[in-house]
Amino acid sequence: MVDTLVNFGFGAMVLTFLAALYGIGASLYGHVQKDDRWQESARNAMLLTFPLLTISVVMIVTLLLQNHFDVAYVAQVTSRSMPAYLKVTALWGGQPGSLLFWSWLMALFASMVALRNWSRDREFLPWVTIVILTTLGFFLLLGIFFENPFFRLWLAPSGEVVEALFRPAGATLFTPQDGQGLNPLLRHPGMIIHPPMQYLGFVSFVVPYAFAIAALITGRTDARWIRITRSWTLWAWLFLSLGLVLGMRWAYDVLGWGGYWGWDPVENAALMPWLTATPFLHSVMIQEKRGQLKRWNMLLVILTYDLMIFGTFLVRSGVLSSVHSFAQSAIGPFFFGFIVLTFGVSIYLLTRRWDELHTETQMTSWFSREATFLLNNLFFIAILVIVFIGVVFPIVTEATGFIGEAFPSLSNVFNGQKVTVGAEWYERNTGPFWAALLFLMGVCPLTAWRISTMKTLGRNLWKPTALSVLVPVVLVINGMDNWLAVFAFWLTALVIAVTAYEFYKGAAARSRRTGKNFLIELVLLVGRNRRRYGGYMIHFGVVLMALGVIGIEMFQTETQATIGLGEQIVLDDYSITYDSLAEFDTNDNRNVARAVVSVYQDGDKVGELYPRRDFFYESRQPMTIPGLHSTLQEDFYVLLVDWQPISTQRATFKLYHNPLVNWLWIGSYVLIFGTMVAAWPEKETEAVKAVAREARAAASR
């Protein structure tokens, strides 16, 4: 039974890899010979990849569910005590399975692209097929030859247990009694959903990149490739955003430090593609409406693709230390080589078409919408550069030890020691740019395309500004003396006021014109211009998230103390009383230490919390679960840090008071809804279709 599952699963992976190679070859041959039959054959090969890899996924999931511990991957990530749903999610709980899962999602998106109607964009087909199948083939190559989830465990004559697909000479099959179990940190619901969302974001961005490369190769310098991939880009951005938010929630609930973002290297690796994808979403509108930033958009989509590969490289190679990353692996050099190859080829194609990607119109005003979008892009790239420097700095400092060996006088600087930068460095250097972006979110909706002056901008801005100024005034009157926080709250108030003003202005104008109810016209307004008002909803979600960031970053307080039964710890207007502690084993191989504390606010009891520490016997790893009293205004967060024998009845608790943090999660829901509104497809006008036909005809001449 196991042999059948392994053989079918591995065989399907190999067939998928061969189908990808065939699709690449058939596309090239069909293009050279100008034979559409080969193009169609390549498209069918791309369609075939998803059902083939589905077989591999079904086989490995079956092995995981049935506890076949003679398969190395099953022994590494599952155990008999794990529930079935965790065994399924163990598919992406380790290196080999996650690469297979990544490839499976890539094959799904490849098939979806292959199924679209290609009659209007036939010249793109071979190059889109080649780019997508090359990316898929690379990940399959790693999975087949280096990180194979179907490797078996064999006991060599020397007594060593080795991993191999086929029986080594003289070896016998080795089956452990139980597996090591999934890393406890990965058992949180956030980590069950977070990796698929992150992978979906990464995989989705291969599609816009493929169409961009196809446009460069074919010479289609119009905005057609942008219109084709608009929904892809929005959904990819949504998945990237969801991946980041879910990762933040996981960190907040599981890592036990009272925060949501620690500037961890792998967190940053996921953030960097988002930092290029977000300005790309904005600047493509300038290309569509004004024919500007064509080169910039190409560069942004290239950067997003390679930063996606780079982020996967950081997680998979083990070159950086992180609570998120997998173990050291031999696939790091292959990732690095693939990044260099794809980035080099992409930049070559861009420079080859550089002159053709000229700006059709000039920017006429620094107060125009084009100018604010350009500033928006520059601020995002500035943050990207800072984050990138912080991520690669440890790698560079460790790798430059040879300079100190060659030049002893420089050994104090280049000594080969890995040097990292902390969260304070990131926050200090990126903070001003985040604030500038927040300000632009308030200003940009009030600017006009092409021609806009400071006078017209001021006329549009004064009402929302006057309303927003009330917020800092009220804060100062109520005693807030943190001027940086006052300024930050004013920025958020400005964006909220401008966004609400834009909705009100549009709906009120429609209501006056039609005589219909304001709320009905508001819904119709959004429906008629989903992209614009969906974008405003996204801005509203971001500013709500900013409230949560401001609250926890500027007003978080904490304390730690060891107390006995009946004693209290006080933090701000909260206090806890230590009521009891129990330590026991569970049926799923855990040792649980669970405290009971009563929580008081201003002397009134508001509930009980149950902070605990779980120790997993199989993996020999602990997991800290906080007790959380949560309201719209704040979170009160209690950790059980340590405890003494039951006879002494003493325990150590760490307390955090996190004001406004829940607006971070509320804002993420608004962001999701706004993205779905903006991504909903709209019908192309006849004018747009005519422009696409003319551009296609020009490119074929």
The string of pLDDT tens digits covering residues 390-420 is 988 887 777 776 566 666 655 665 666 777 8
Residue 481's φ and ψ, nearest 5 degrees, are: -115, 5
Whole-number percent of the chain with pLDDT over 90: 57
- The predicted pLDDT at position 661 comes to 94
**173 token code pair:** 């099959």
Indicate whether 323 pLDDT > 60. Answer: no
697 against 500, higher pLDDT: 500
Partners of 600 in the beta sheet? 575, 605
- Whether residue 685 is predicted with pLDDT greater than 70 in this model: the reply is no
pLDDT at 351 over 80: yes
* Helix-helix angle 206-218:189-204, to 10 degrees: 10
Domain boundaries of the chain, sorted by first residue: 1-182, 201-427, 555-662
pLDDT at site 360? 75
Is the CB of residue 372 less than 8 Å from the CB of residue 448? no
How much is the pLDDT for 684? 52
Confidence (pLDDT) at 688: 46
pLDDT beyond 70 at 100: yes
Q: Calculate the alpha carbon distances from 45 to 38, 56, 110, 130, 611 in Å.
A: 10, 17, 10, 11, 53
pLDDT at 266: 82
Query: What's the Rg (C-alpha) of the chain?
Result: 28
Is 328 a residue whose pLDDT tops 80? no
User: Is residue 388 scored above 70 in pLDDT?
Assistant: yes
Alpha carbon of 689 to those of 51, 220, 228, 297: distances in Å? 34, 15, 12, 22
* For residues 505-516, average pLDDT: 87
Residues 665/192, Cβ–Cβ less than 8 Å: no
pTM, two decimals, is: 0.89
Q: Which of 322, 487, 296 is nearest to 378 (CA)?
A: 296
Placement of tokens 């943190």 in the chain: 482
- Residue 500 CA to residue 523 CA, distance in Å, equals 14
Task: Please give the structure tokens belonging to residue 131.
Answer: 């780019």
Nearest to 288 by CA among 692, 699, 571: 692
Residue 156, SS3 per DSSP: coil
| Confidence band of 253 (pLDDT split at 50, 70, 90) | confident
For 11, counting Cβ atoms within 10 Å of its Cβ (0-12 exposed, 13-18 middle, 19+ buried), the class is middle
Query: What residue type is assigned to position 62 of the chain?
Result: T
Of 120, 219, 228, 353, nearest to 701 (Cα)? 219
Q: What is the pLDDT of residue 568?
A: 95
The runs of H, that is alpha helices, within 291-422 are 294-317, 332-352, 369-399, 401-406
Residue in the structure block whose two tokens are 């991504």: 679
What is the C-alpha to C-alpha distance for residues 558 and 257, in angstroms, rounded to an integer? Answer: 10
pLDDT number for residue 687:
44
What is the average per-residue pLDDT within 120-130?
92
CB neighbour class for 586 (10 Å; exposed up to 12, middle 13-18, buried from 19): exposed
State the average pLDDT for the chain.
88
Higher-pLDDT residue of 319, 555: 555
